[in-house]
Amino acid sequence: MLEAVSVLDPAMKNVVHFFEQFQHKGHTCLVFEMLDRSLLQLLSEQQGTPLSLHEIRPITHQLLMALDALKGIGVVHSDLKPDNIMLANHLSEPFRIKLIDFWCRSCPRRGIWEDNSASGLQAVCSVLYLCKHLFAIDCEYQSMRGIVDVLGQPADHLLCAGKCTQNFFKVEKHLDSPRWWMKTPREYQLDTGIEPKTWDTTIRSLDDLITHNPDTRESIELEDQRAFVSLLTCLLDTDPEKRITPGKALDHPFVTMVHLEDEIDTSFYVEDSLAKMRILPMDNMDLFLDCAAEEEPKEEEPSAIPRHTDAGSVLPGSCDGIKNMPQSSEGAEAAAGIDTTGSAIKEPTVSQGATSPAEDASASGGSPDESLPAKVKKSPLKRVRKFFGRAIRTILRLKKVNK
């Protein structure tokens, strides 16, 4: 297995670097690169304080890169958890991670990778965000009960194909649909002889995660929480045919930060988010960072970051949760006053007397969204917000330095 994984670039694909193996007193010894500590140890050091979305995002991106690379060589990591995710050097490269412990097997058919790694990834993200598991881990019945309560009962065709379905569900022969019903704790105990443990949680739906953090201060931070929950929804789809793959998840708004673009010059939260992502060797961040570094874009410059597809969704190749990601009214109202071409929530504006490519497309029978305007102008309001945003941040930094 290590020979198969060794074909991957350890730096770009975020997997541990395997050097060699040797025999010593009848034992096989494996030599790996020196790493710092695991995410589980990091959480333990923080004494119950969860990570912020700033910190979860780069970890998520690196794990998606690793899982996508493993999927490409036909390997599934069957034990994805915080114990097996190592920080490379947290002091010099905060939240640069490596995936370890490849005691896994080749993936013989489509579907097995999705079941193991997608659920493992959401479990890791949930633990980092909540400092506890989203579902019970020490009681199979309570774990299944939590899935049904939070995500809804799996479809009948999935339950019919399950090997252990009858342990947790009973068949209602007199009903056509749904045929399966979740057993009560008493019914489960009578059928299996196992008494279910108790599991107390305040999470009754994934939407509860959006308001989980009482310290949320900016509307853009609320948008980021919605994007994070949207990604979890995609990873938690009970139907493996609909569950998001790592390649598509890399295009999810939470990972690409496309929903934060409009506040790139005015928000401390977005600035911190960008700073945390700078450790990643990712090509698709270059355009985003270049856009953030520009003092003033050229008047005739096309938009560098497409905000929607031909169908109007935020990004291509993603699950329904991405296309229909909820947005707060505050964020929508704030963005509605910004004349920025390519926005996901506002149609491009065109000066009177001139015909834009969008109008030409509409006149020829196509949708105005099917082609972006060739010219982009930054509105006076955007310039003012950008100026005052930078001025305020500069003043606050000077105050901190003087203290």
* Catalytic residue from among 79, 115, 239, 286: 79
How far apart CA 296 and CA 391 sit, in angstroms, is 15
Beta bridge partners of 30: 21
How far apart CA 80 and CA 65 sit, in angstroms, is 14
> Which residues in 102-166 belong to E strands, given as ranges?
105-106
How far apart CA 6 and CA 221 sit, in angstroms, is 39
79 is catalytic: yes
State how far the alpha carbon of 83 is from the alpha carbons of 6, 79, 127, in Å. 21, 9, 11
| Half-sphere exposure of residue 174: CA atoms within 13 angstroms, side-chain side | 0
Structure tokens at 100: 């370890």
DSSP secondary structure string, 330-369?
A: HHHHHHHT---TT-TTSPPP--TT---HHHHHHHTTS-GG
How far apart CA 14 and CA 16 sit, in angstroms, is 7
Beta bridge partners of 105: 76
Backbone angles phi, psi at 373, to 5 degrees: -60, 150
How far apart CA 357 and CA 364 sit, in angstroms, is 11
Structure tokens at 283: 């090509």
| Half-sphere exposure of residue 177: CA atoms within 13 angstroms, side-chain side | 4
Instruction: Please count the other Cβ atoms lying within 10 Å of the Cβ belonging to residue 245.
Output: 19
- The residue with tokens 């939260």 is 269
Backbone angles phi, psi at 193, to 5 degrees: 80, 10
* Exposure string for 30-42, b = 16+ CB within 10 A, e = fewer: eeeeebbebbeeb
Which active-site residues does the annotation give? 79
